[in-house]
Structure 1
């Protein structure tokens, strides 16, 4: 006859408890519409650094609202930078060449630097439906401008405190 103690039959094991959650602060949301810089003849560009005579096109970034605890909104702008002038956004591959796209605040006091994490546009929050006024234009980057579609995609990144 064999005796087996209860301790010998006990098994040990581990269990993991995954705890999840979010401690949120305030939040902001924005929206944009496509920006149409118009149709231009390549001859309107007369040298590196020039723009068509029509110049800037104003456009809004619209507030969808911010929580009451938000003090400052920081906007960064991500997209492909022009290979000749890294301060401009590149035209999509297969389109026009010799130009880039410049973005600024509408009053011209701040110029967007593509993909910068330090040179951000800082705004006080505005009510839902109000806007953060901006402007855009084409700028010649090479000695020759080649015709074609002159499109680009820019993503607005928000952080706030």
Structure 2
């Protein structure tokens, strides 16, 4: 082989390896993991029989500034008939977020609806739960035992002024098995 042919061969080989390097610089990898389980727990308060939580009548004088809150009202989400392969679950609450506090539920709009407040959800230790963020994990017992997942709700002030009126909202929830 002459020097010119060897030089061209070397240049082509280096060019190919450089283009392979350049082609791989923008690539990555995603590994998906999960598990198919036997069955899920039965949600006692499903869409057909929703849980109704009465927050009561709260005087607007309770609110002293943005972030102040009313008294907590506790509620329980019940799961039963859990398979043995499922040992804990978290709850992911959904709904329309408040414009001024997107971690809290917006009130159902209406001409006479209250303003300046939203509904804050908390876990069993009274730690706030942001919408669309899983709660802490609650341990589950398999079989026909009713698993009580305790939560709470309260009004939280989101604006400088609060006006009186109906203060209702709706939240969906998804059970996330751990």
Q: TM-score range by the shorter chain?
A: 0.7 to 0.9
Which residue number in structure 1 is paired with residue 106 of structure 2?
90
Write the mapping of 1:45-84 to structure 2, written as runs, cut at 5 A. 45-52=63-70, 55-84=71-100
CA distance in 2, matches of 1:88, 1:72: 25
C-alpha displacement of 1:63 = 1.8
Q: Is the 8 A contact 2:37 2:85 kept in 1?
A: no
Count of matched residue pairs = 134
Which residue number in structure 2 is paired with residue 30 of structure 1?
43
RMSD: 1.8
The 3 A distance-change label for structure 1 pair 46 and 75 is same
What 5-or-longer segments of structure 2 have no aligned partner? 1-35, 46-50
SS of aligned partner of 1:121: coil
Name segments (4+ residues, structure 1) moved above 4 Å.
none
Please identify which structure carries the higher helix content.
2
Q: Is the 8 A contact 1:76 1:121 kept in 2?
A: no
Write the mapping of 1:94-109 to structure 2, written as runs, cut at 5 A. 94=110, 95-108=113-126
Which residue number in structure 2 is paired with residue 18 of structure 1?
none
CA distance in 2, matches of 1:147, 1:37: 14
CA distance in 1, matches of 2:150, 2:37: 28
TM-score (structure 2 length as normaliser) = 0.68
Q: Is the 8 A contact 1:26 1:68 kept in 2?
A: no
CA distance in 2, matches of 1:148, 1:70: 43
C-alpha displacement of 1:129 = 2.5
